[in-house]
Amino acid sequence: MIAVLYMSNTISANWLNMTFAFNISMIVMLSCVATLYLIQIKTKQPHLSAAKNSLKILAILCFLYIISTIVSIFWSSEIAVYIDLLAILAGAFLPFIIKGRFDKKIINFPHLLERFELLTIVSFGDAIVAITGFFDVSKFTLLPSAVFILVLSLFSCYVMQIHMLIDHNKEHRALRLMFTHYFIVIAINMLTISFKFLIVNNSDHLFIALHTFAALIMFFVSIYLNSKYHKEGIVWSRKDVILIISSFALGFVILMVFIKPIWGLLLGCFAIVMINNYLLYHKCKCAGLVNK
């Protein structure tokens, strides 16, 4: 925990001066986790293959951070930053490459899903906080309410796809669930940035429109990739796929045609979100997950 606190204070705009502290903090944290896996191996606890597989990944990450530390001391902090970036990406995606062989039963899929749902809820909470700038007490308009409804509808899509349609009792390694949630959180943060840009005068409307559209694509592609975990009997038809693609085509056209006014951008977002919201609601309704 001490290393975590140090590491959290290294995240700043002055990144080049923080590489040494960041690397040492990461090495300490990863070493602590590796020690726990070593203890499990030494005590011959069940599922040793999973512990050994995780230990390989941790060893690679520690090696990268050690190299970055040496480079930052004796050579260049700028190069060390790129090595740190490589280590971060390796930590995210090595479990997908170095899979190992072990019983999937050791992974508590419902518990893992719940943790990612909580992470996403926190991200949506940050988005709600970000749009408070729209609520100007000196004048009342419908714009703040529209932005709030948009975020709420986006959250509704997430709940229906991830919480309602997914079978929580299946046994999976859940790698797809983990990786897609990285991008779900990134997409929500991108939307949050777009909302903040809307408040700022003289913002580049084309950039905001493209940034928002990219965030929505990332969000929906990420949640739809988790259809692998759906309950039995829930499938996507060709019409469903066409409807999803059409929603993005319609939304993009609206965003480009009405690029200047804020309402035009929101209308394009609503076209994408509401069509997908309807589709997911229809899936839940057909599966008997909502009252008819």
pLDDT (tens digit, 9 = 90+) per residue, 15-62?
666 777 777 888 888 888 888 777 777 776 656 666 677 778 888 888
The dotted CATH code for 105-286 is 1.20.1410
| SS3 state of residue 185 | helix
Residue 224 pLDDT exceeds 90:
yes
Q: In sequence order, which ranges of the chain are alpha helices (DSSP H)? A: 2-8, 19-42, 48-74, 77-97, 109-130, 143-158, 175-199, 205-224, 238-257, 262-286
**89-122 residues labelled b (16+ CB within 10 A) or e (exposed):** ebbeebbeeeeeebeeeebebeebbeebbeebee
Question: Which one of 84-98, 151-165, 204-218 scores highest in mean pLDDT?
Answer: 151-165
Instruction: Compare 229 and 4 and report the one with higher pLDDT.
Output: 229
Instruction: Return mean pLDDT, the chain.
Output: 81
| Distances in whole angstroms, Cα of residue 132 to Cα of each of 125, 135, 207, 212 | 11, 5, 22, 18
Q: Give me the pLDDT at residue 249, please.
A: 93
DSSP assignment of 22-54 equals HHHHHHHHHHHHHHHHHHHHHTT-S-HHHHHHH
Residue 67: what pLDDT?
Answer: 83
pLDDT of residue 100: 62
pLDDT digits (tens, 9 = 90+) for 243-264: 999 999 999 998 888 766 777 7
User: What per-residue confidence (pLDDT) applies to 11?
Assistant: 67
292 vs 79, higher pLDDT:
79
Amino acid occupying residue 194: S
Reduced to 3 states (helix: H, G, I; strand: E, B; else coil), residue 220 is helix
pLDDT of the residue at 4: 66
Separation between Cα atoms, residue 226 and residue 102, nearest integer Å? 22
So what's the pLDDT on residue 148? 87
Q: Residue ranges of the domains in the chain?
A: 2-102, 105-286
Question: How many of the other CB atoms lie within 10 Å of CB of 239?
Answer: 9
Asked if the model's pLDDT at residue 291 lies above 70, the reply is no
Residue 27: Cβ within 10 Å count: 19
Distance CA 216, CA 248 (A): 9
Of 49-58, 175-184, 203-212, the least confident = 49-58
Q: Which residues contact 292 (CB under 8 A, 6 or more apart)?
A: 285
Prediction pTM value:
0.78
Q: Would you say residue 8 has pLDDT above 70?
A: no
Q: Which is more confidently placed, 126 or 45?
A: 126
Highest mean pLDDT among 79-88, 93-102, 169-178, 275-284: 275-284
Residue 200 confidence (pLDDT) above 70: no
Question: How much is the pLDDT for 144?
Answer: 77
Q: Please report which confidence band the pLDDT of residue 81 belongs to, taking 50, 70 and 90 as the band edges.
A: confident
